[in-house]
Structure 1
Amino acid sequence: MEEFEKGERVELVHTADEYTRLQQGDQGTVARWDARLGHLEVDWDSGSKLTIIPELGDEVRRF
Structure 2
Amino acid sequence: MVKYIIKRVLIGLLTLIVLVAITFAMTKVMPGSPLQSKMYPEKFFRKWRQHMDWINHR
TM (normalized to structure 2)? 0.21
Higher helix share goes to which structure? 2
Higher strand share goes to which structure? 1
Q: Which has the higher contact order (CA 8 A, sep 6+)?
A: 1
TM (normalized to structure 1)? 0.20
